[in-house]
Structure formats: structure tokens, C-alpha cells
Structure 1
Amino acid sequence: MNYRFQNLLGAPYRGGNALVVNNSLLISPIGNRVAVTDLIKSETITLPSQSSTNLRRIAASPDGVFLLAIDENNRCLFINLLRRAVLHRITFKHPVAAAKFSPDGQLIAVAAGKLLQIWRSPGFRIEFFPFELIRTFTDCNDRITSLDWSPDSGYVLAGSKDLTARLFCLKKSTKYIKPFLFLGHRDVIVGAFFGTDKKTNKVCRVYTISRDGAIFSWGYSEMDGNFDEPSLASEPESPGTPEQGQGNNREGDSDSRVKKRKNFDGKDATLDLDDRFQLHRLKWELIKKDFFMQAPAKLTACDYHRGLDMAVVGFSNGIFGLYQMPDFVCIHLLSISREKITTAVFNDLGNWLTFGCARLGQLLVWEWKSESYILKQQGHYFDVNCLAYSPDSQLVATGADDNKIKVWTVSSGFCFVTFSEHTNAVTALHFMPGNHCLLSASLDGTVRAWDLLRYRNFKTFTTPTSKQFVSLAADQSGEVICAGTLDSFEIFVWSMKTGRLLDILSGHEGPVHGLVFSPTNATLASSSWDKTVRLWDVFDGKGAVETFPHTHDVLTVVYRPDGKQLACSTLDGHIHFWDPFEGLLMYTIEGRRDIAGGRLMTDRRSAANSTSGKCFTTLCYSADGSYILAGGNSKYICMYDVADQVLLRRFQITHNLSLDGVLDVLNSKNMTESGPLNLIDDDNSDTEEGVDKQVRNKLAYDLPGSMPNHGRAVIRTKCLRIAPTGRSWAAATTEGVLIYSMDESFIFDPTDLDIDLTPEAVDAALKENQTSRAVILSLRLNEDSLIKKCIIGVSPADIPAVASSVPVKYIQRLVEALASLLENCPHMEFILRWCQELCKIHGNSIQQKSRSLLPALKSLQKAITRLHQDLADTCNSNEYMLRYLCSASDAK
């Protein structure tokens, strides 16, 4: 039962700003979580930490070690990216629109409303007050929208909603240093950046970009005569509270251009005036005005690369432009979508551009020199309705209300193909045996078969009259396909080979929302809202052979992997278990109280007293049938032991308060005469903040039931599937597709422990070359590292003898260890010899215990299949080289 959150699929980007650290790690917010994508290895992971609401802003330290994640409630997480752990937390008092680390990594600039706050960056040390506020600037008249640091970390350039940009000096002097104002724009400042000289790396210009598509270039002419000598802003060791400068007395200095100062710690430091320009003393002038000429579209995102002196801008019509500065030469002007670009950023080298579109859930990484995509990911536009695991557990297919089907690689978290032929919502998916064929059912009245090798729709199954399909099943041989309807209450049967309609099964009096074939025979089970579960003999054409009545509507039905048990959930929150052969009710689990939790904003009763919607809409057996997962209209997913009918564990799928149904108790202070405060939309400036709320609400009403609370999505689980290997399971939720995998951390769970059984005894047996005894002792101790160590310690010649000495009760644990080794160990032939000998010696025992060994055998099959694919790809890529080498040797 030891599952933990691993990854989030189906929603690569939902708004906020994206970052690229260490030139290859793309960091993007996904709701209240953070996703990290390795652009070199083509892998993505989602950090386990969660914010209280959707993330609004993220910032990374220059070395890529620390991450600052700020949500809509102004709560900030300080995360160690390497350890994936939250180090510190802080809550800001004002909405944060921008945050950025200084180039030396010692300070953090935070735009909190109208205030510009300078904080000392926390480190790895455990401190009572990890965040220390050093300076607060209150000069802006409206909300600050953008920030940029000078290369020496001594100045901050802040763009504001008051149509100005200000240059702030972090060095304190004897008198107040008023920030320099860059004026002239006619719209909100979207970005303000320092430009540097490529040879000296000194600031030589400033660029300000406004929302109306104007970019102003600023330069300086001469220094002001009245000069104050400031102290240094910080030292790399530990910046603290800054002290006042030394004044204008320049006597006693051996060199008039080198000044002695005290840093934040009170230590002596020198300031070379040639090395550090006093930017606040320069006379800045407007050099040039340029315009992007994209009206009426608004400029919504921008970034500047100092090394290349290039600017990238994104607009509300989906067009982006790349410009060489300061000559304002357009290098690229392309369209990537019809929706607003919400983030645009360079990587460190400047050869990759990252774009994000919140409305489409689209994230792109584009190499502008070769004009090719490095990464192109797009999530589902609406909630995911259904999902399916491939037989080898390497792929996950998802279908959603946006009429699209996406196939994801579980190990990398990437979508590699999207099918969009359906014209209405996709409601059911099913993988055929062999991994290369996927079936889908839709409300558009078609069932389609997809080829995962050629990526095409090779067969379409239709009905004489248009129907709406909501369930799908196929028999074990793959010859017969069945689909249940929403409107006519019938089940249609087709032949997979010919595509012809074979039969129409009638008898239900409500929508057929559950459909599944028995794993052992050709019996078809169907569940309907007419309060019945029916069994059908599809091949003999006898119609319904058994009917199981219930007192409430039946929502879904599943078979146990051995075919000897049937489970179905009803509208009253119960799970019923039936014997399909005897037609008897075995037992019932009352799960209403287990799934209860979460209160909607429109609910008049508390979550404990509310009885509406407390039921399971999706069920899934484990690979060995010992437990069952159940989810529905709740924030919880429940795991039950089937034999004892007890709740083993509840998984809370999210803590995101931006979704409805997460809070158990509502705050009465937020209740007004017009209803809950969170449902009153009185902000008319939504178009600047990412997703347009008015458009989002309109789309929500276009889909009945998707967002009933004025555009606030309701947390729910629509589909659950356990991988055939039993090592992971997936849940299609409002947040996306959550992947939970078996926790690999150390857990002491011995199989047959006694006082003499210790790791030292295992090591002693290995040293004495008693490999058979060492393997058995490690299996009894059930410690993964010791089992793998003993397996590797066996010589190839002794494998048959050691395999024959392993008791049958340890076979499952040994197979699991072999599957894990095969995925990571370089000794492929050695591990395959182990597998071969186990099958030869314990073949009969494996067949007798097939039900309990099924997850372990599926894991082994997955590892062998993946290894075979990798070797095949390597051989195919080297085939030409091998032919060339052979022909060259023959010529000699």
C-alpha cells in the first residue's frame, strides 16, 4: 500500500511564468505544483510540494539550486530543487507580481503591490527568521509589474502600472537617493531590462517595453557633479542590515578612485569607481522609440538576453517576435497559436526560446537559429474523462472533453501523439493486447481504432443511427468490441476484423455507464442507471443470462483479474461484491463516510452533514485482486481491502484551494449578502493576468456540469486505473492525470525474521561463498539492496543450483528484484539467465500462483519489453555503420 505521488500528466502549463535554469532545465507551474523538465534527457517530473492555491510567480537562483514559488494567496515556498524539499515558507502582505534573485544569489527582489522589497536569500542553514527584509522602496504609485537586476547586484529596474520605470539604488548614503524615472510610455510597463556592453559587461543602456507594443531605448550622457559615496550593497558571505555611507570626505585616500567602505557586516571593503558605475548619478536620455506594430493586439510577455542583445515579445493574438537590439531588426515574427502568449523567456545561452499559452495549456521550446522545436507539449483543454494503461504499463492514454486523445510515456511524462478526429467528448478508452492498438468511444457516435505504430485511425465503428457512447469493452482475444450508449440504453457489438455490426443488446432502461468483459471467459458485464448489473453471453447470442438488482443507480462495474468476483458502485455510496457464477451478493462496503469531505462554495450545509454526491463513480482492482481503488465526486481516493472490507488508506489528490470542494469548513467572514466573496468577480483587468476569467466562465457554461460554481472547477476523480505491473496507478482528476508509484524508500518489512537473521549474516555468507544461503537469508530479511547484492554475487554457473534452492513462497520477491535489476543493471544476459532458470525450475508453481504473481510477472515483462525495444533501436541506428565497416574490411 506504499504509494506516493510521482508525476502529473495532462496539464504541462496553466499560467504563470516559466524559467530555464542551468541552460537545460525548464521549470513551469502546473496549478499549485511545479514541473521540472530536462530538455536534454526529455524527461519531466512534478515536485511533490504543493502550494495552497495556484502559483502566480516563480523565481530560481542563478545556480539553479533554490526555487521561489509564490501562489495567489501570496504564500511563498523556498524549495531546494536538488532535494525536491521545501526549506522555508513565508507569506507576503501584498499581491506579488514579480520576483527575481540577484545575479550573485544573495538577495531577492519582490514586487509586493506598490512596494519593492529586497530580501536576503535564505540558505541551507536552519534559522528562526530565514527571510530578512533589507530594504523597502515605496516610490511607485501603482502595482509593480516587472523587475530586473544590474549585473553587479547593486541596482534594480522596476516597471510599474503607473506607466513608468524606476531605477532603484540599493546602496545607502547619508541622504535619500531618489530613483530615476523613465517616462513617456502610454500603457502599462510589461518589461524593463538593463543592457550591457559585451566587452566590459557594464550597463550601457536600458530598455522599457509597454503593453501597447512600444520599446524605448535609454542611454546616459554624463555624471552628475554632486556625488555621494555609497557603501557596498552586499558581501557574498552574509548580507545583513546596510549601514550608512561615509559621506563626501575624500581626504586620506591614497587613490582618489578607490574608496574604503564598510559592507553590511561592518567589515572594510573597497569600491572601485571604474568597476562600478553609479547608475543613479548618470543623466539618462531617451535615445530611440520603436514599435512592434501589432495593434489591436496587446503585448503580454517579453524577455531580454544581455549577451546577445536580443528581445523576444509575445502578443495576445498568439504572435511572437524576436528582435536584434539596439537596431530593432526583426529576426523572426511567427504565430504559434490564436490565444494569448502568457510567458516568453530565453535560456542562458540564448539559443532556445520558451513560450507558454495558459488558455491552451501549451508549452513550447523553440531553437530560433535552426527554427526547430526542442519541446512541444500541450495539455487537454478541458477535464480528462478517461484513461487506460497499455499492457506493458509503459504508456497511458487519456481522453477528454476537448475531443482529443493523447498518449503519454509514463517514464518521461511526455505526450508523443495526439489524435483529434473525434468531434465530441471522448468518454472511454481501451488498449488492445499487443500494445499497438487503442480503442476509443465518444459522444459523437463512433468507436475508433488507432494504430500506435503509424499514428492513424485505421478503423471506425458506427451505428445505423447516431448514438452517444459512454462505455467501451473488448474481449481478451480482441475479436469483439462492445460499446454502451447514453441515449438509447443499448449495447452495440462489432467485429474487430470486419468492422461489421454483429448484434445490439437491449434490456437496460437507463444509460449504460459501465461495461467490462470477464478476464477468463466471454461473459460481458454491464451496469446501468436502471439499478441493475447484467451479464451477457455475447458469442452465443443468448442475451442477458443474469441480472443483479440494486436499490440505487449503478454507476460502474469491474471484474477481479481472476474473473471470480464482480464489483459495482451505486449512487448511495456503497460498493457491492458479487459472485458472477453463483449470482450471489458476497459482501458490501459502505463508503459514503470514507469519501465524504470537501464543501462547495454554494453548499448551505457543512461537509459532514451534506449527503449530496457522496458516491464512487470509478472503481479499479489491483493486479492481484487483493484491494480495490475507488474515487468519485470528492477530493479523496479510497483504497479498500477486498477480503476484510476495511479502508486501508485515503489519498487526498490535492490541497489546492483554488478548486472548489477542497475545504471542509468555509470561513463565515467571506460570506456576503450577494453570496460567497470568492464567487464575486469585480475585477475588470483580468486580461493582463493570464487566463481571461470572463472567457473561461463562458467556456465553463458551454459544458454543463464542468464548472457549476461560476467558473471554479470542482475537484473530482473521473477515472482510476492500476498499471498491469501493480507498481503504479493513475487517476484522471480535475487537476490532471495524477501518477502514483510504489515508494522506493527503505521500509523494514521482513518475511521470516529470527534473532540470527541480520545484514551481517548475509554479508558473511557471501564472503564464505555460500551464495544459496545468502540469497535465501536476504529474501527472508526482505531488504531490496541486500537481495540485489546477493543476486549479483552468484556466479553464472551456480544460477541453476541457487534458483532450485529458493522456496516457492519467495519467488514473487525474487521476480520483483530481477525486474528492478533488469531496468537499471548493465548485466543484461546475467539477469535474463536468472529469469530463464526460474521459469524452468518453478514453472508449475508460477502457474499455480499466477494470481498472486501476476504484478511481479507484469513488471518483469515490462522490463524485458523495454530492453528489447532499446536494443532494437540501437541496432537499427548502427546498421549502416556496421555495413560500412564490413565493406571497408572486405575492400582491404
Structure 2
Amino acid sequence: MQKGTSSDHFFQTDADNAQKERRAAKASNKNGDPITLKSKLLAAVPHPTSPSSILVAESAGAVRRVNVDTGDTKHVFRGPTIPVTCVAVGGPGNHTVFAGSWDKDVWSWDLASKAPGRKYSGHSDFIKAVVCTKIGGKDCLISGGADKKIMVWDIETGSRLHVLQDQTISMMAVQHFAIDPLQSEPDAIILVSASSDPHVRRWRIRLDGFEQLKETTPNEPSVVQHTILEHDTTVYKVVFDSEGEEVDLWTSSGDGLAKCLSRAKGFAADDTFKHGGHVRAVAVTDQWAVTAGRDEDIKVWDRTSAKLYCTLDGHYDEVTDLVVLDGGKRVVSVSIDGTVRTWPLHQTELDKVNKEKEDAAQAVEEEETPAESAEGLMTADEEAELAALMDDD
């Protein structure tokens, strides 16, 4: 008897079948000029030397360079045999690719030659987040895992410098990192971490030690909190703004919300964007906030008004990450559906998308109107005849 691994061989509900049919029908769309890869795409970062390229973490166990202009996907960094969940670029000269994997290791490769480098081993569960930075002039790698630990590594020697854990509030699986560009200094960086609990944590890390920062608010300076608590559940992404003097912090969460946390207000929420579903990614430009997640849509919000400006649809499964290119002129999305899609962020292009949707909705409405008229409405001549008969009465 032959064994099958396809989901078709197992019991499925009507909802499962409907979802499968919907995705199959949507899969052929060309919105966002899709580049199709052969595995699920779990994360992405900009390529440091190619303005039109990104580095994508694949469930097939590789990191792939994708040129969104030419469609070239042949430059691949191989090593792991199970999913790669996160990717970063750093090290001396910013020439090394780092990727965290389900095998509990962080892998590395030379960016140009693809030659494998050092592996960083120490986590006891999946690696979920990696970021590179300099501390005291030393190139460092920071990794976070499902083992609830954050580890700081000396990139050159491979030695582990620190293990960070919250001693006051139980920390769950680490999801993402961001380095604070405003408060970090040459000898001490400020790391922001997101995790599967709703707490956002800030850490000051030096070569000789670290501390978890306590949070206060301008209105209640006597109240001290150990974390930033603005969401109800998992925080998937933390991103610092590239615009403005304050360099605010942006977050996206499984509670269906993305938020702008104001530095001036002690990282309290200043604006809230109600995307819906699990919001897996948030990206910002000087004009827009862009969100994406489980509902498959890319939503573009006007930062000034915090109102939804345009919805870009094309993906047919969960969107896992967003990368802004060309100084905010376009955004690239990657998804569980295996496609990389590129969307222009010029206001005129977004207006064109909105107009096309309005025209399509109007066309559908006009198609339905004649049928209703034939069944339930009279012609002008019939109305005139009825009016005459009523006058006679």
C-alpha cells in the first residue's frame, strides 16, 4: 500500500477545501510582477551592494539573492537542510551573510563567493532572529531563538560573549531585533527585541556586560516598567523609522495591529493601524506605513492621517516580510506562497490601483442592474400607462 504525504490524502473540512480552491484560483495573478521560487519564503533583507536585490530566507534550507528587476535567482547560499528562518548581513566590510535555521545554528557565507564560513552553535531550539552590529569596535552577531534566549557573538572568533534573558517577566520565543540608531553609541548598543509574548524589551549591550533597560513615561516618571507593553499578543516585527529627529519605533503584532511608538512619549503608541489578522511585517517611508500578514494583502497607510490609502492584492498565502527599496519608491513582499512581488509606492501609481478597483466594482454593479430591472422594474412606457389608468379611476 502506497503512503502519501499530500494533504489531499487526509481528511479536510469544507473550509479547508474552499481555501485551497480560492488560493488555486488566485495563484495565476500577475500583480506585483511575481518572481516564483520553489519553497516558502520566511524573511528578507536588502542586499548591501545591489539596490535592486534582496536576500531571501527559504524553507528549503537556503538563502537566495533575488534581483527584482531582472528576475535573476541563481545566486544561492547553501548549507542547512531544513528551513532558514532569518537572514542578516554584516561582519568585517559588511561582506558576510548570516542565516538562522531550524537546526539551531547560525550559518555564514561570503557575500560575493558564496563560500561557507563559520557556524555559531549554542541555541537549544530554532533560531528566529539575527542582526549584526559593532560594539566597542568589534563586529558582533546577535541571535535569538525559540529557546527564549538572546546570544551575542564575536563574529571573528566565534566565541559567545553574552546570553540575555528577562529575569522579571518570562520571555517567550524571540521573533525579531532592531538596533536603536539614535541611542546606540560606539561602546554600547541599544537592542530592541520582539517575542511571542506581547512585551517589547530594550537592552544596553557592551563588550563587558549588558543590562535590560527600564521604561518610564513623561507623564508618569515615577512609574517604572521593565518592558514596552502596547500589544495584546505576539510582536512579530520591530523597525526604527528612518525619518524625523525622534526616530520612532514601529511594531506589528498578532493582535491585528501595527503601531508607531513615540520615543518622545516613552515608546507609547502614537498611531495605530488596524490591518487585521496576524500582522507579520511593517515597513515605513517618509510618506507611507506599509503592513502585511496572514490576510495576504499589502496595505499602504498615509502616515500623516493614519488612514488606509491603498490595498495591494496579489499574494495567495501569508506575507512574511517587507523590504523597502530605492529610498522608499517601492516595497518588496515575500510570502509563504513562494513568490517575491514588487509594488511601486509613488502616489500616482497607488491612485491608479485605486481607480482600477473602483472601475472594476462599478462594472460588476452595472452587470447586476439589468437583471434586477428585468425582474422587478417597469419601463418608462409601462409607468406612463399605469399613471393614465390611475387618473381614469
Decide: shared fold, TM above 0.5. Answer: yes
Does structure 2 retain, via aligned residues, the 8 Å contact 1:564–1:581?
no
Does structure 2 retain, via aligned residues, the 8 Å contact 1:404–1:421?
yes
Deviations 1:529-571 (A, max 9, x none): 2220000001163321031124511232111125621111232
Q: Verify: 1:382 aligned to 2:39, yes or no.
A: yes
Does structure 2 retain, via aligned residues, the 8 Å contact 1:409–1:416?
no
Partner of 1:640: 301
Out of 231, 240, 246, the position equivalent to 1:559 is 240
SS in 2 for 1:568: strand
Q: Which aligned pairs between 1:441-452 and structure 2 lie closer than 5 A? A: 441-452=100-111
Structure 2 unpaired stretches of 5+: 1-23, 215-226, 352-393
Out of 517, 532, 548, the position equivalent to 2:228 is 548
Does structure 2 retain, via aligned residues, the 8 Å contact 1:469–1:485?
yes
Gap change, CA 1:379 and 1:643, over 3 Å in 2: closer
Q: Partners of 1:582 and 1:526 in 2: how far apart?
A: 19
Gap change, CA 1:640 and 1:742, over 3 Å in 2: closer
- Give the C-alpha shift of residue 435 in structure 1: 5.9
- Give the C-alpha shift of residue 456 in structure 1: 0.9
Q: Partners of 2:80 and 2:70 in 1: how far apart?
A: 26
Out of 163, 170, 173, the position equivalent to 1:511 is 173
Does structure 1 retain, via aligned residues, the 8 Å contact 2:36–2:338?
no
Q: Partners of 2:36 and 2:62 in 1: how far apart?
A: 10
CA RMSD of aligned residues (A): 3.2
Partner of 2:75: 417
Q: Verify: 1:470 aligned to 2:128, yes or no.
A: yes
Amino acid aligned to 1:652? D
Q: Verify: 1:572 aligned to 2:255, yes or no.
A: yes
Partner of 2:274: 591
Q: Partners of 2:279 and 2:111 in 1: how far apart?
A: 32
Gap change, CA 1:747 and 1:551, over 3 Å in 2: closer
Gap change, CA 1:588 and 1:725, over 3 Å in 2: closer
Partner of 1:615: 278
Q: Partners of 1:543 and 1:401 in 2: how far apart?
A: 34
Gap change, CA 1:389 and 1:525, over 3 Å in 2: same
Gap change, CA 1:432 and 1:643, over 3 Å in 2: farther
SS in 2 for 1:737: strand
Gap change, CA 1:536 and 1:438, over 3 Å in 2: same
Q: Partners of 1:523 and 1:724 in 2: how far apart?
A: 27
Does structure 1 retain, via aligned residues, the 8 Å contact 2:41–2:57?
yes
SS in 2 for 1:725: helix
Gap change, CA 1:577 and 1:490, over 3 Å in 2: same
- Give the C-alpha shift of residue 728 in structure 1: 2.4
Q: Partners of 1:581 and 1:492 in 2: how far apart?
A: 29
Which fold has the larger relative contact order, with Cα–Cα distance below 8 Å and residues 6 or more apart in sequence?
2
Out of 319, 329, 346, the position equivalent to 1:727 is 329
Q: Verify: 1:408 aligned to 2:66, yes or no.
A: yes
Gap change, CA 1:452 and 1:416, over 3 Å in 2: farther
Q: Partners of 1:385 and 1:517 in 2: how far apart?
A: 21
Q: Partners of 1:724 and 1:53 in 2: how far apart?
A: 29
Does structure 1 retain, via aligned residues, the 8 Å contact 2:26–2:314?
no
Gap change, CA 1:619 and 1:542, over 3 Å in 2: same
SS in 1 for 2:260: strand
SS in 1 for 2:75: strand
Amino acid aligned to 1:632? G
Out of 172, 195, 204, the position equivalent to 1:537 is 204
Partner of 1:455: 114
SS in 1 for 2:79: coil
- Give the C-alpha shift of residue 53 in structure 1: 5.0
Gap change, CA 1:643 and 1:452, over 3 Å in 2: same
SS in 2 for 1:719: strand
Deviations 1:35-75 (A, max 9, x none): xxxxxxxxxxxxxxxx95556xxxxxxxxxxxxxxx9xxxx
SS in 2 for 1:634: coil
Q: Partners of 1:649 and 1:396 in 2: how far apart?
A: 24
Q: Verify: 1:651 aligned to 2:312, yes or no.
A: yes
Deviations 1:741-777 (A, max 9, x none): 45698999xxxxxxxxxxxxxxxxxxxxxxxxxxxxx
Deviations 1:72-106 (A, max 9, x none): xxxxx9xxxxxxxxxxxxxxxxxxxxxxxxxxxxx
Equivalent residue pairs, number: 297
- Give the C-alpha shift of residue 449 in structure 1: 2.1
Does structure 1 retain, via aligned residues, the 8 Å contact 2:192–2:203?
yes
Q: Partners of 1:576 and 1:382 in 2: how far apart?
A: 30
Q: Partners of 2:250 and 2:348 in 1: how far apart?
A: 33
Q: Which aligned pairs between 1:337-348 and structure 2 lie closer than 5 A? A: none
Q: Partners of 2:348 and 2:232 in 1: how far apart?
A: 43
Gap change, CA 1:382 and 1:500, over 3 Å in 2: same
- Give the C-alpha shift of residue 454 in structure 1: 1.9
Q: Which aligned pairs between 1:193-592 and structure 2 lie closer than 5 A? A: 380-392=37-49, 393-432=51-90, 436-463=95-122, 466-475=124-133, 479-486=139-146, 488-507=147-166, 508-520=170-182, 521=184, 522-539=189-206, 541-546=209-214, 547-553=227-233, 554-561=235-242, 564-580=247-263, 583-592=266-275
Does structure 2 retain, via aligned residues, the 8 Å contact 1:526–1:557?
yes
Gap change, CA 1:743 and 1:574, over 3 Å in 2: closer
Deviations 1:21-46 (A, max 9, x none): xxxxxxxxxxxxxxxxxxxxxxxxxx
Gap change, CA 1:422 and 1:621, over 3 Å in 2: same
Partner of 1:739: 342
Gap change, CA 1:643 and 1:391, over 3 Å in 2: farther
- Give the C-alpha shift of residue 466 in structure 1: 3.1
Partner of 2:370: none
Amino acid aligned to 1:557? V
Q: Partners of 1:427 and 1:478 in 2: how far apart?
A: 25
Q: Partners of 1:538 and 1:576 in 2: how far apart?
A: 26
Amino acid aligned to 2:73? C
Greater Rg over alpha carbons, structure: 1
Amino acid aligned to 2:256? G
Does structure 2 retain, via aligned residues, the 8 Å contact 1:640–1:648?
yes
Does structure 1 retain, via aligned residues, the 8 Å contact 2:54–2:66?
yes
SS in 2 for 1:499: coil
Gap change, CA 1:497 and 1:582, over 3 Å in 2: farther
SS in 2 for 1:538: strand
Partner of 2:381: none
Q: Partners of 1:743 and 1:642 in 2: how far apart?
A: 14
- Give the C-alpha shift of residue 491 in structure 1: 0.5
What TM-score results when the alignment is normalised by the length of structure 2? 0.67
Q: Partners of 2:109 and 2:53 in 1: how far apart?
A: 14
What TM-score results when the alignment is normalised by the length of structure 1? 0.31
Q: Partners of 1:386 and 1:747 in 2: how far apart?
A: 25
SS in 2 for 1:456: coil
